[in-house]
Amino acid sequence: MPNYSGVWTLQEQYESVLEGNWPDIFRAELYSWGNNTDGRLGHNDVVSRSSPVQIVASSPWKSFTTGYTYSHAITSGGELYAWGNNNSGRLGDGNTVNKSSPIQIGALTNWKQVASSEAHSVAVKTDGTLWAWGYNLNGRLGDGTVVDKSSPVQIGTDTNWEFISAGKDSSYAVKSDGTLWSWGNNDGGNLGHNNTTDRSSPVQVGALTTWSKVTGGKLVALATTTSNELYAWGDGLGRGLSLGAVNNSSPQQVGSLTNWLQAFTSNTDGSPFSCGLKTDGTLWSWGSNNYGQLGVNTTTNTSSPVQVGTSTGWTAISAGFNGAGGIDTGELYTWGANGAGANGLNYSGPPEVSSPTQVGSLANWTSVSRGVTHMLASIRFT
């Protein structure tokens, strides 16, 4: 945890944004835009927006995540909210009815982090317990079954879960002891267990105890260590592994550098790609680039990380379906496909954007999350 007195290092800023741990003097307003089918933008209607619109709420927001067609967010008071498509109970409110505005999930106020994907979500509470709900094909919820759950269910009894990620049809988590765990679909060896066997409950990945952050995608996963090394594993056939077109069913280090903060990978079936932040504030990307989602002003694919521009002020990044969003020195940028106005640039559809383009003119954005065709971002205010 960062020390909120004095000047923050880039690492401290990044960790705070990622985990939603801004100090009490900072509060966040939440904005959304893009496709609003099923009410996934949270504005109490199904009207799409091509520029950011604030989500009306009675409490400031702390952290948030976008699933394919829905969203989850946690307030500064630790309450969990959800809205959008509710097939398979993916919102977690005990039913399958779509919601076009935020509804609270249960009455508890101890939610710490939530991660959502195609149709399931995983979350960690402040007491270190692990929870999941939604679609459960391949055992992606981790409760030992393949039965869908429309309300959060606790996964095991451990109380040392620290960080979680929801892949397209699998899940990943890091414990406070530095161990890495995964479960769900394993067709591409993406669980990292040196095989392709599905798991319906968490299984440790290898024996390392220095894992820091993990992100799951479509049959691929990326993770960083406490010494800022980057690892990748899973289906390497064009899915942004940075290991060439080779499948790897156990973690393999990407290069030899030790300056990675975290990497992110798109968790959809589109044109898969990955991106990552380094400790020097630079942004890097690799993988498919059909829509300019790598942000390097071309549409050429690449299997190794290439730097996006020259800025050293990047503090947040999110890889979504054929597009990405990021924050550079407090300014919000988007690039890639623009279906339904997902880039927030006040127009829908083509032309696509192949390099980071600023959204509006504000400079106090803190975090961003990109779904299939919609996005969420937060603004800090005092």
CA distance 215 to 99: 27
Residues in CB range of 157: below 8 A, 6 or more apart: 129
Q: What is the pLDDT along the chain (382 residues), one digit of tens a residue?
A: 222 223 334 444 455 555 555 444 446 899 999 999 999 999 999 999 999 999 998 889 999 999 999 999 999 999 999 999 999 999 999 999 999 999 999 999 999 999 999 999 999 999 999 999 999 999 999 999 999 999 999 999 999 999 999 999 999 999 999 999 999 999 989 999 999 999 999 999 999 999 999 999 988 999 999 999 999 999 865 445 555 556 789 999 988 999 999 999 997 776 789 999 999 999 999 999 999 999 999 999 998 899 999 999 999 999 998 999 999 999 999 999 999 999 999 999 999 999 999 999 999 999 999 999 999 999 987 5
> In this predicted structure, what is the pLDDT of residue 24?
47
Q: Are 143 and 134 in contact (CB under 8 A)?
A: no
Residues in CB range of 173: below 8 A, 6 or more apart: 122, 124, 130, 161, 162, 163, 164, 165, 180, 181, 182, 202, 214
Q: Are 355 and 295 in contact (CB under 8 A)?
A: yes
**Pairing mode, strands 365-370 and 230-234:** unpaired
Characterise 169 by phi-psi region: left (phi > 0), alpha (psi -120 to 50), beta (else): alpha
Whether a cis peptide bond, with omega within 30° of 0, leads into 351 is yes
Break the chain into its structural domains and give their ranges.
10-381
Alpha carbon distances (Å) from 15 to 22, 78, 153:
9, 18, 27
Q: Are 347 and 304 in contact (CB under 8 A)?
A: no
CA distance 101 to 98: 9
Amino acid making up residue 125: K
* pTM for the full predicted model: 0.93
> In this predicted structure, what is the pLDDT of residue 275?
95
Label each residue of the chain as H, E or C. CCCCCCCCCHHHHHHHHHHCCCCCCCEEEEEEEECCHHHCCCCCCCCCEEEEEECCCCCCEEEEEECCCEEEEEECCCCEEEEECCHHHCCCCCCCCCEEEEEECCCCCCEEEEEECCCEEEEEECCCCEEEEECCHHHCCCCCCCCCEEEEEECCCCCCEEEEEECCCEEEEEECCCCEEEEECCCCCCCCCCCCCCEEEEEECCCCCCEEEEEECCCEEEEEECCCCEEEEECCCCCCCCCCCCCEEEEEECCCCCCEEEEEECCCCCCCEEEEEECCCCEEEEECCCCCCCCCCCCCCEEEEEECCCCCCEEEEEEECCEEEEEECCEEEEEECCHHHCCCCCCCCCCCEEEEEECCCCCCEEEEEECCCEEEEEEEEC
Third-level CATH fold of 10-381: Methylamine Dehydrogenase; Chain H (2.130.10)
